[in-house]
């Protein structure tokens, strides 16, 4: 039986998982990853910590699987998207910190682009909206701020890319990314499947610093023997949310998944058709195989699991994430009228307001700890309902929602989402859908599967299905929308 190594480089950790072709996990490695916040709105990470954490987790996973690296068929990568890193083309030395996808420092640059009439160009070419979430303005900001970077770029000695491209450069020496990650830079024309020269020129970004764009299952080179003991081919790459789409088996048009990790990302497969959103949602590349692009419609919520971390680490209302389910069961979901808007890092779809801030309202002398915690948890369901409603208006109606990510071990949350969204919620047996998707792509690249459909049948199993038990209370939905509007008015 073939086995592969899936590298899942995320915002809060670098994980590695050894899978067999039945979808069974043989070994897991995990290294935590911290972010720094040097100024309000700035979010950075150390690229060397990303690399060393990825390498350590890979070795740990192989060791825990009880195998030799020589038994692996290949390596696949799934990664946090939009985060950008600069490195020297020859030495591979990184230059400066990674600017993380959550970073909001380029909000004014986005406003200038909007004032210059670029909004429609960006939407038409890239499928994205003008927001500091994406890589383009982060890259331009660094080049404008650092004369050394600009000089290296002018001499052809600079490379820049998303985390996957950086990892490939370290793993194999190749300068390459895949179409799903390229589509998140806001520099890639998803219609023509090429870097968009007009946007590059406007932002003064030389095309020479960007990686080659390959298929999601492709030849990304092989590792040197020194890294893992034997040369291993890197056969697949996908952005983390696209990898989760694959890992959840959302391969048919209309199939939809929601990943509840640091943020919440709802993605619906739209097949070979790129849906143009009329509601500020994102048209993006789901994956590209043999030159054929499968598109997806995406709605992004910047804060989901991060709000639970905030409750624990900043506010001290809980000791662990498991406490949130205890609180929700204690209150029976009744927050006593308290509403929480999770705009701790701005608001994503469909509002796209980077300057929005979190809000707690409806407090009274009777409000207790359990109700506050439940309100934070409930906000994830309200946000999901809002996103699914907007997606339906764009032509991607959801009947069943396949959920994954660290938060979905919380059964109360899964049932709440089913109730508030009035959809069937399906939780997989393997919660590591992102890594599973990377593994499926790797097996496909190795020829183990003839198609992703075959891989999904072989590797994906369902843990539990949550059917709606009660209809949402209209007054609660109205209170939620009112709270969001209050947040927006305060910007």
Provide mean pLDDT across the span 202-220. Answer: 97
pLDDT at 280 over 90: no
pLDDT-derived band at 98 (thresholds 50, 70, 90) equals: very high
361-379 pLDDT, tens digit per residue, is 999 999 999 999 999 999 9
* Tokens coding 438: 């990377």
23-76 pLDDT, tens digit per residue, is 999 999 999 999 999 998 899 999 999 999 999 999 999 999 999 999 999 999
Per-residue confidence (pLDDT) for residue 172, from 0 to 100: 97
- Better pLDDT: 113 or 473: 113
pLDDT at 341 over 80: yes
CA trace torsion 159, 162, 165, 171 (10° rounding): 100
Per-residue confidence (pLDDT) for residue 439, from 0 to 100: 97
76 CB-contact burial (10 Å; exposed 0-12 / middle 13-18 / buried 19+): buried
82 CB-contact burial (10 Å; exposed 0-12 / middle 13-18 / buried 19+): buried
Per-residue confidence (pLDDT) for residue 369, from 0 to 100: 94
Per-residue confidence (pLDDT) for residue 156, from 0 to 100: 92
Q: Is 485 helix (H, G, I), strand (E, B) or coil?
A: helix
pLDDT at 302 over 90: no
Provide mean pLDDT across the span 396-415. Answer: 91
pLDDT-derived band at 346 (thresholds 50, 70, 90) equals: confident
Per-residue confidence (pLDDT) for residue 262, from 0 to 100: 82
Per-residue confidence (pLDDT) for residue 6, from 0 to 100: 98
pLDDT at 17 over 90: yes
Provide mean pLDDT across the span 152-166. Answer: 95
DSSP 8-state class, residue 311: I
pLDDT-derived band at 189 (thresholds 50, 70, 90) equals: very high
Per-residue confidence (pLDDT) for residue 135, from 0 to 100: 97
As a 3-state breakdown, the chain gives helix, strand, coil percent values, each rounded to 5, of 40, 25, 35
- Domains of the chain by residue range: 3-239, 249-428+461-491
φ, ψ for residue 87 (rounded to 5)?
A: -150, 160
* Tokens coding 473: 């209370």
Per-residue confidence (pLDDT) for residue 301, from 0 to 100: 86
Q: Do 3-239 and 249-428+461-491 come out as alike in CATH topology? A: yes
Measured CA to CA, the distance from residue 87 to residue 173 in angstroms comes to 12
Measured CA to CA, the distance from residue 38 to residue 166 in angstroms comes to 23
Share of the chain above pLDDT 70, in %: 100
30 and 14 Cβ atoms separated by less than 8 Å = yes
Per-residue confidence (pLDDT) for residue 318, from 0 to 100: 87
Counting every residue written for the chain, the total comes to: 491
**244-272 per-residue burial string, b: 16 or more CB within 10 A, e: under 16:** bbbbbbbbeeebbbbbbbbbbbbbbbbbe
Strand blocks (E) in 216-263:
234-239, 256-260
pLDDT at 300 over 90: no
pLDDT at 192 over 80: yes
Of the CA atoms within 13 Å of residue 296, those in its CB half-sphere come to 32
The sign one gets for the Cα dihedral 240, 244, 245, 247 is positive
pTM confidence score: 0.89
Fold annotation for 249-428+461-491 = Nucleotidyltransferase; domain 5 (3.30.420)
Across the chain, mean pLDDT equals 93
320-339 pLDDT, tens digit per residue, is 888 999 999 999 999 999 99
Measured CA to CA, the distance from residue 104 to residue 346 in angstroms comes to 8
Per-residue confidence (pLDDT) for residue 277, from 0 to 100: 86
Per-residue confidence (pLDDT) for residue 437, from 0 to 100: 96
Per-residue confidence (pLDDT) for residue 399, from 0 to 100: 85
Provide mean pLDDT across the span 389-406. Answer: 90
pLDDT-derived band at 186 (thresholds 50, 70, 90) equals: very high
DSSP 8-state class, residue 128: -
DSSP 8-state class, residue 211: P
Q: Is 37 helix (H, G, I), strand (E, B) or coil?
A: coil
Provide mean pLDDT across the span 268-285. Answer: 91
Residue 353: partners with Cβ closer than 8 Å, 6 or more residues away = 343, 346, 347, 488, 491
CATH of domain 3-239: 3.30.420.40
Per-residue confidence (pLDDT) for residue 203, from 0 to 100: 96
Strand blocks (E) in 140-274:
158-162, 176-178, 188-189, 194-195, 212-214, 234-239, 256-260, 264-271
The strand pair at 194-195 and 188-189 is best described as antiparallel
Query: Does the bond joining 350 to the residue before it have cis omega, within 30 degrees of 0?
Result: yes
Measured CA to CA, the distance from residue 78 to residue 179 in angstroms comes to 13
Share of the chain above pLDDT 90, in %: 81
């Amino acid at each position: 039986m073939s086995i592969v190594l899936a590298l899942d480089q995320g915002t809060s950790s670098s994980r590695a998982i050894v899978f067999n072709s039945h979808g069974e996990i043989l070994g897991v490695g995990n290294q935590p990853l911290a972010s720094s916040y040097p100024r309000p709105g700035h979010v950075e990470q150390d690229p060397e910590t990303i690399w060393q954490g990825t390498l350590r987790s890979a070795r740990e996973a192989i060791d825990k699987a009880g195998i030799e690296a020589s038994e692996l068929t290949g390596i696949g990568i799934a990664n946090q998207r939009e985060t950008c890193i600069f490195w020297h083309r020859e030495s591979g030395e990184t230059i400066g910190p990674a600017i993380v996808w959550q970073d909001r420092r380029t909000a004014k640059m986005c406003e200038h682009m909007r004032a210059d009439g670029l909004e429609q160009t960006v939407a038409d070419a890239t499928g994205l909206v003008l927001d500091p979430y994406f890589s383009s303005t982060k890259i331009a900001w660094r080049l404008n701020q650092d004369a050394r970077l600009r000089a290296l770029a002018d001499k052809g000695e600079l490379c820049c890319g998303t985390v996957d491209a950086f990892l490939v450069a370290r793993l194999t020496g190749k300068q390459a990314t895949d179409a799903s990650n390229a589509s998140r830079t806001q520099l890639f024309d998803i219609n023509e499947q090429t870097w968009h020269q007009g946007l590059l020129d406007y932002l003064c970004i030389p095309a020479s610093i960007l990686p080659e764009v390959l298929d999601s299952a492709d030849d990304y080179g092989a590792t040197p023997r020194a890294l893992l003991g034997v040369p291993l081919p890197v056969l697949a790459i996908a952005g983390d949310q696209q990898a989760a789409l694959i890992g959840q088996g959302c391969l048919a048009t209309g199939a939809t998944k929601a990943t509840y990790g640091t943020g919440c990302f709802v993605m619906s497969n739209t097949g070979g058709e790129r849906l143009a959103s009329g509601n500020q949602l994102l048209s993006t590349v789901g994956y590209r195989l043999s030159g054929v692009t499968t598109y997806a419609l995406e709605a992004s919520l910047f804060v989901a699991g991060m709000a639970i971390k905030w409750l624990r680490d900043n506010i001290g209302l809980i000791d662990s994430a498991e406490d949130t389910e205890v609180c929700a069961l204690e209150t029976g979901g009744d927050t006593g009228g308290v509403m929480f808007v999770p705009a701790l890092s701005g608001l994503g779809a469909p509002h796209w307001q980077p300057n929005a801030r979190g809000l707690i309202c409806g407090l009274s002398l009777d409000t207790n700890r359990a109700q506050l915690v439940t309100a934070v948890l409930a906000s994830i369901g309200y946000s999901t309902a809002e996103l699914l409603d907007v997606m339906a208006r764009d032509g991607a109606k959801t009947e069943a929602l396949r959920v994954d990510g660290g938060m979905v071990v919380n059964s109360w949350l899964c049932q709440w989402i089913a109730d508030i969204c009035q959809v069937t919620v399906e939780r997989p047996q393997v919660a590591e859908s992102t890594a599973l998707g990377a593994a499926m792509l790797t097996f496909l690249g190795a020829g183990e599967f003839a198609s992703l459909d075959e891989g999904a049948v072989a590797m994906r199993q369902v843990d539990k299905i949550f059917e709606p038990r009660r209809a949402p209370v209209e007054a609660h939905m109205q209170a939620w929308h009112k709270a969001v509007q209050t947040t927006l008015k305060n910007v």
